[in-house]
Amino acid sequence: MGFCINCGQQHQDGIRFCRFCGNQQPGEQLLARLRSEAEQIHYQRLAASQNQKQNQNQNQNQNQNQQYRQPRW
């Protein structure tokens, strides 16, 4: 199932025109390319999020190690 690029109504895949607003819908080749690009963006965001969490954890560990190394007077 897909959604109209104009009005947002749900429709079956493979239709050429929206039955609600009449707007022409993208072809299957374009839809496949857009889905592929969206999937790549999704995985890039996941990887970036994981890297950010790892960096935060490393920074926290470094801060904790520095606290232990400083003498208490």
For 20-28, what is the mean pLDDT?
93
pTM beyond cutoff 0.75? no
DSSP 24-54: BPPPHHHHHHHHHHHHHHHHHHHHHHHHHHH
pLDDT band at 31 (very low <50, low <70, confident <90, very high): confident
Of residues 62 and 9, more confidence is placed in 9
Q: Is the pLDDT of residue 51 over 70?
A: yes
**2 burial level (CB within 10 Å; 0-12, 13-18, 19+):** middle
